[in-house]
Amino acid sequence: MRETAAASNWSNWSGNVRATPRRIARPADEAELGDVIRSAPGPVRIVGSGHSFTPLVASEGTILDLGGFSGLKAHDSERMTAIVGAGTPLGQLTHLLDSAGQGLPNMGDIDRQTIGGALGTATHGSGLGLGAYHTQLLKVRLADGRGQIREFSADTQGEMIQAIGVNLGAFGAMTEVTLQNMASYRLRRRRRALPLAEVLQDFDTLLKSHRSAEFFFIPFSSHALHLTYDIAEGPVSTHPPEQDEDGLKTLKMLRTALKRLPWLRRRLIGSALAKVEPEDFVDVWFGAYVSERRTRFNEMEYHLPFEAGAKALGEIVTLMERAFPEVYFPLEIRSVRADETWLSPFYRRETCSIAVHHDAAEDPTAFFRAVEPIFRRCDGRPHWGKMHSLTAQDFAALYPRFKDAMEVRRDIDPENRFISPYLAKILGVET
Ligand SMILES: Cc1cc2nc3c(=O)[nH]c(=O)nc-3n(C[C@H](O)[C@H](O)[C@H](O)COP(=O)(O)OP(=O)(O)OC[C@H]3O[C@@H](n4cnc5c(N)ncnc54)[C@H](O)[C@@H]3O)c2cc1C
């Protein structure tokens, strides 16, 4: 087992969560994993690749790195299923699956997360006909709070998969998961700029009339980029160079330089966007979905009933442009299919997800605090991995099966080995 002996520092991707655990343990197999869970200083919190913005991973006891449980273990080319280590980074998983003739039906913006971490927080892409990663789950193998290995299968214990499909690392340490994939495919990705008025007016159609679609609203521009993704039969074409990072630098520069000339900022960005050449290319599935995100940010994302999306977006834009001129990161607007997983923010609800971002070097508190009531008024459920201010009481009201999920959790972890103060606060566990 690889581990750091003395207290060491840990921080997440954006740097807004830090911890000094007494141990960071990286067990090599399930026997070592069981030993750590039984004997390491608690609380024991599991880390994927640390891309969550909420303190889900932070622990003053032990941080458990499951990077040793990675890779493609087996696959079935007829059923299009694959058994993979839960610690596998998505960027590795995509290549492994593609080599086996399989593809993930959908992906989010990046591939840096692990599959275990993506399942942990209900990570999602866009598309009203497409579920989040946890909807692909057929089987889970995990170590429970006593370090014992348990297996659950959708065939025989469907309710258990619904109970633990989105698990926040509080329902055991997953070592292996079986995923329902599809045959590898190509995607045609198109991007064009649209005036905000058109986005708000044709919101439903623009999001619904493609396999997958999303908007990036550019602050102080009155425009959004509309991205669509559809299955393509043709050959792969040249993937244009990524311009997101250069675009962000320009937006930040204009924000800072034109602080006292907001009208000029709007005119410059708006006219540049109106002239953006549409982009259109075909790539293998993961090449079309995934982007690089080098500029660090913090993020809040809420999942709203789909029909509340357009109105909420309009309100957020008005608020941001009236009171938060420092914001320059785009807003991201997506849709997600409803599902049956108890702690899924998409539980029995077709969803419109709206995300706001803030430069990681600047304090996001005032902006996020002002935006959150707009999300709350629409009965929004926050992304478990992104910043929010909710506690167990709120979640119990937002999730009809919350109490049932907590009973299952208690059975898997009766001594609360996986419960940190933060987990106690959001799950209502008394320690
Ligand atoms: C740049 C960036 C882009 C992002 N893009 C998207 C996006 O497009 N869509 C979206 O929905 N989210 C997105 N996110 C959020 C991100 O997908 C989630 O926060 C995700 O959980 C991070 O995965 P991770 O591997 O880093 O897990 P971590 O953040 O390390 O952990 C997340 C949770 O999973 C648990 N966990 C991890 N592994 C296991 C395991 N093996 N067994 C049990 N529990 C485990 C942890 O304990 C924790 O509770 C993005 C985040 C960043 C920083």
Is residue 69, in this structure, part of any structural domain at all?
no
Residues 28-51 have pLDDT tens digits of 999 999 999 999 999 999 999 999
Q: Which of 37, 40, 30, 38 is nearest to 60 (CA)?
A: 40
Confirm or reject: Cβ of 66 under 6 Å from ligand 1.
yes
Q: Assess if residue 238 is contained within a domain.
A: yes
Q: Indicate the pLDDT class of residue 276, thresholds 50, 70 and 90.
A: confident
Residue 18 is assigned to a structural domain of this protein: no
Query: Is 197 contained in some domain?
Result: yes
pLDDT over 80 at 424, yes or no:
yes
What's the confidence (pLDDT) of residue 238? 86
Comparing 32-36, 158-162, 222-226, 275-279, which segment has the lowest mean pLDDT? Answer: 275-279
| pLDDT attached to residue 7 | 59
Atom of ligand 1 minimally distant from the CA of 49: 26
Task: Report the number of distinct structural domains present in the chain.
Answer: 1
Dihedral sign from CA coordinates of 114, 119, 121, 125: positive
Q: How confident is the model at residue 142 (pLDDT cuts 50, 70, 90)?
A: very high
Angle at 335 between CA 234 and CA 133, to 5 degrees: 75
Find out whether 251 and 328 touch, Cβ atoms under 8 Å. yes
Cβ(181) – ligand 1 distance below 6 Å: no
Give dist(CA 320, CA 185) in Å, integer. Answer: 39
Alpha carbon distance, N-terminus to C-terminus of the chain: 29
- The residue that leads in pLDDT, 178 or 238, is 178
Q: Which one, of 322, 299, 220, lies nearest residue 263 by Cα?
A: 220
Res. 428: pLDDT tops 70: yes
Is any ligand 1 atom within 6 A of the Cβ of residue 89?
A: no
Across the range 166-189, mean pLDDT stands at 98
Instruction: Indicate the pLDDT class of residue 6, thresholds 50, 70 and 90.
Output: low
DSSP-derived letter for residue 53 is S
Q: Is the pLDDT of residue 375 over 90?
A: yes
pLDDT tens for 48-65 read 999 999 999 999 999 999
What pLDDT score was predicted for residue 244?
87
pLDDT tens per residue across span 205-261: 999 999 999 999 999 999 999 999 999 998 999 888 888 899 999 999 999 999 889
In a domain, 387, yes or no: no
Identify which has the larger pLDDT, 8 or 287.
287
Q: What is the pLDDT of residue 4?
A: 58
168 Cα: distance to centroid of ligand 1 (angstroms): 9
Is the beta carbon of 85 within 6 A of some atom in ligand 1? no
CA dihedral 205, 208, 209, 211 (to 10 degrees): 160
Amino acid identity for residue 403 in this structure = K
Q: Is 210 contained in some domain?
A: yes
For 4-24, what is the mean pLDDT? 88
Ligand 1 center to residue 105 CA distance, Å? Answer: 18
The answer to whether 61 and 86 are in contact (CB under 8 A) is: no
Which atom of ligand 1 is nearest the CA belonging to 45?
A: 47
Tell whether 312 is covered by a domain. Answer: yes
Check which CATH number belongs to the domain holding 347 and give it: 3.40.462.10
51: CA distance to ligand 1 center in Å?
5
Measured from the Cβ of residue 174, the count of other Cβ atoms closer than 10 Å reads: 27
Atom of ligand 1 nearest to the CA of 332: 8
pTM listed for this prediction: 0.97
Concatenated DSSP letters of 134-184: GGGEEEEEEE-TTS-EEEEETTT-HHHHHHHSS-TT-S-EEEEEEEE-EE-
Q: State the residue range of the domain holding 245.
A: 186-382
Q: Give tens-digit pLDDT for 67-99.
A: 999 999 999 999 999 999 999 999 999 999 999
Residue 365 lies in a domain: yes
By the 8 A CB rule, do 227 and 189 touch?
yes
Residue 124 alpha carbon to ligand 1 centre in Å? 10
Average pLDDT, the chain: 96
Asked if residue 105 lies in contact with residue 80, where contact means CB atoms within 8 angstroms, the answer is: no
